[in-house]
């Protein structure tokens, strides 16, 4: 028996591949990967508005995002737990680096607003460790809140000026002891790496975390749009900045031992004399 | 991802390390999403009317991840970089198979069952019909191709691709796949019998092949 049937199938596979690539070129893969150039992104968006089919394609390839990834990790862990009731191997603890030694990293990071905004938290618990309580950040009050005239994704950002008082508070839903907190920041534009912040939060006896001061004095923050992260964790259990960045990029905003919460704000340039 | 990083990441994820798992999921999400989207869009008419495609892409992408990791991650563990198939291509083939199976049978996870015919099934039940005797319409052939992709393991898909889509020589296939001449020959034979078997099944002349 020869291979004519398989050869026919091979021909058809080639034709299908060519037809698919003619209608959905490599740009669509890069859309899913989030690596399109601005120009390409504009092209595909415009294409997506040209017909219902193209709109559907755009939606199909639009990145699933960090919240999806968090759900997947959660589902995989849940399935592993179901398949293997015996305790799974403990994850090695991330190395904890002294906060102050890392403050000179130059890059800034933004991430995954959608996941946090949607309130998606991924919970992983070690078998014997009770997790820390849930923390929430109190609303941030700035000099003013711009609405309407700014781009939609920026609207509502509290705006602060040098000299403005700034108070950030993260409160646990139940009192907790034995926790510490660190502050990080990431730019909402440009490079998006997580950057340890020189301002150090305080933790009161009930576990409430606060960071308080005057912008330009106790609190140093350049002009621009920023995401301020407060990471609360059991003493010695807050991940290193590198580990934390990986966790946040993967859509994980808490573990049994730590939780990351954030607020966005805009710092206005210092007024010219 | 470079191959060494990829292999290391897979090992960390398989060992249950949470950071490794999270990074692997982050790295593979765009690959899986794109393949799921392409497979669904090319067969849009097979998807029930009114179904939200974005939601289906999300659901099927998650199913692909679960397929990779269920039963002690036996599918992911079967990936061997030295066979010439990158992890991205490997999971792409898993994704395609997942979607094809879902579209045909509605099964969310085909991997919970035996993923392919046994050698015995292929050997004993294959009718000796000459392919030229079968007038397969393009649509029929297209369905046969989907069934073949659905039945084949990622390695089988790779061999089909090398042998019959790229039409490489025997030596080139050996080089690309890392398989011996005998192994490539065995795969060629297995592919031939599987295609015949599926064709017979679709034409109603073969025994019901799937253990559904």
Residues in chain A: 273
In the predicted structure, residue B208 carries a pLDDT above the cut 60: no
ipTM score assigned to the predicted complex? 0.76
In order, the DSSP letters of A49-68 are TT-HHHHHHHHHHS--HHHH
Contact A252 B22 (CB under 8 A): yes
**A124/B141 touch (CB, cutoff 8 Å), yes or no:** no
Q: What is the pLDDT of residue A251?
A: 64
For testing contact with chain B, the best of A15, A72, A96 (most B CBs within 10 A) = A72
Flag if A1 and B130 touch (Cβ within 8 Å). yes
Please name the residues between 53 and 82 in chain B that touch chain A, using a CB distance below 8 Å.
53-54, 57-58, 61-62, 65-66, 69-72
Q: Taking all residues of chain A, what is their mean pLDDT, rounded to a whole number?
A: 74
- The tens digit of pLDDT for each residue in B44-79 reads 888 776 678 999 999 999 999 999 998 889 899 988
CA distance A109 to A260: 15
- Are A72 and B16 in contact (CB < 8 Å)? no
Closest CB to B22 among A16, A56, A73? A73
User: What is the per-residue pLDDT for A63?
Assistant: 94
Beta bridge partners of A160: A267
Q: For residue range B96-144, what is the model confidence (pLDDT) as tens digits?
A: 999 998 888 765 554 444 444 444 544 444 444 454 444 447 788 899 9
Selected residues 89-128 of chain A with any CB under 8 Å from a CB in chain B: 89, 91-92, 94, 124
Query: Please, which residues bridge with residue A185 across strands?
Result: A195, A228
For chain A, which residues score pLDDT lower than 70? Answer: 1-2, 83-129, 141-156, 189-192, 198, 250-251, 271-273
pLDDT bin (cut points 50, 70, 90) of residue B147 is: very high
Average the pLDDT over B32-49 and give the result. 88
CA-based nearest distance A104→chain B, Å: 25
CA angle, residues B190, B192, B196, in degrees to nearest 5:
115
8 Å CB contact of A12 and B131: no
Residues 104-123 of B with CB under 8 A from A: none
- Percent residues over pLDDT 70 in chain A: 72
Section B80-94 average pLDDT: 85
What is the chain B residue with the closest CA to A1?
A: B130
Q: In the prediction, which pLDDT does A1 show?
A: 52
Joined together, the tokens standing for residue A172 give: 């646990």
The C-alpha of A240 sits at a distance from chain B's nearest C-alpha, in angstroms, of 12
Per-domain residue ranges for chain A?
Answer: 4-63, 67-267
- Chain A nearest C-alpha distance from B196 (Å): 8
CB atoms within 10 A of CB B77: 13
Tokens of B37: 């989207």
Q: How far is B69 from chain A (nearest CA, A)?
A: 7
Domains of chain B: 1-113 (no CATH), 114-212 (1.10.10)
């Amino acid at each position: 028996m020869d291979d004519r049937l398989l050869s026919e199938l091979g021909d058809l596979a080639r034709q299908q591949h060519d037809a698919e690539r003619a209608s959905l070129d490599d740009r669509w893969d890069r859309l899913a990967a989030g690596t399109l150039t601005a120009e390409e992104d504009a092209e595909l968006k415009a294409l997506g508005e040209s017909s219902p089919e193209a709109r559907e394609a755009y939606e199909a390839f639009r990145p699933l995002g960090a919240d999806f990834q968090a759900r997947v990790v959660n589902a995989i862990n849940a399935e592993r737990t179901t398949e293997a009731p015996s305790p799974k191997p403990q994850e090695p603890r991330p190395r904890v680096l002294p906060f102050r030694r890392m403050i000179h990293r130059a890059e800034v990071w933004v991430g995954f607003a959608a996941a946090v905004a949607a309130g998606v938290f991924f919970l992983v618990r070690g078998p014997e460790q009770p997790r820390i309580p849930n923390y929430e950040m109190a609303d941030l009050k700035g000099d003013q809140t711009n609405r309407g005239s700014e781009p939609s994704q920026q609207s509502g950002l509290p705006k602060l000026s040098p000299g403005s008082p700034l108070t950030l508070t993260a409160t646990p839903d139940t009192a907790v002891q034995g926790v510490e907190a660190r502050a990080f920041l990431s730019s909402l534009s440009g490079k998006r790496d997580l950057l340890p912040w020189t301002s150090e939060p305080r933790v009161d006896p009930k576990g409430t975390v606060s960071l308080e001061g005057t912008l330009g004095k106790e609190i140093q923050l350049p002009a621009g749009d920023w995401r301020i992260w407060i990471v609360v964790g059991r003493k010695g259990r807050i991940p290193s900045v590198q580990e934390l960045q990986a966790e946040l990029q993967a859509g994980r905003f808490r573990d049994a031992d730590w939780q990351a919460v954030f607020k966005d704000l805009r710092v206005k340039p210092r007024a010219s004399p | 991802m470079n191959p060494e990083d990829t292999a290391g990441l897979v090992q960390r994820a398989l060992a249950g390390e949470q950071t490794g798992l999270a990074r692997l999921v982050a790295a593979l999400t765009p690959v899986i999403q794109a393949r799921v989207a392409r497979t669904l869009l090319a067969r849009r008419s097979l998807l029930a009317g009114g179904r939200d495609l974005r939601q289906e892409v999300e659901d099927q992408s998650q199913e692909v991840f679960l397929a990779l990791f269920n039963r002690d991650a036996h599918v992911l563990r079967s990936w061997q970089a030295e066979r010439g198939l990158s992890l991205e291509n490997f999971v792409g083939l898993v994704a395609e198979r997942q979607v094809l199976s879902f579209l045909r049978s509605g099964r969310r996870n085909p991997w919970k069952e035996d993923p392919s015919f046994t050698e015995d099934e292929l050997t004993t039940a294959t009718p000796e019909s000459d392919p030229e005797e079968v007038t397969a319409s393009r649509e029929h052939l297209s369905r046969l191709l989907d069934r073949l992709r659905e039945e084949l393991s990622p390695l089988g898909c790779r061999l089909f691709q090398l042998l019959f889509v790229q039409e490489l020589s025997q030596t080139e296939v050996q080089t690309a796949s890392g398989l011996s001449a005998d192994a490539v020959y065995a795969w060629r034979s297995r592919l031939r019998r599987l295609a015949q078997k599926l064709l017979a099944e679709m034409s109603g002349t073969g025994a019901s092949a799937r253990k559904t």
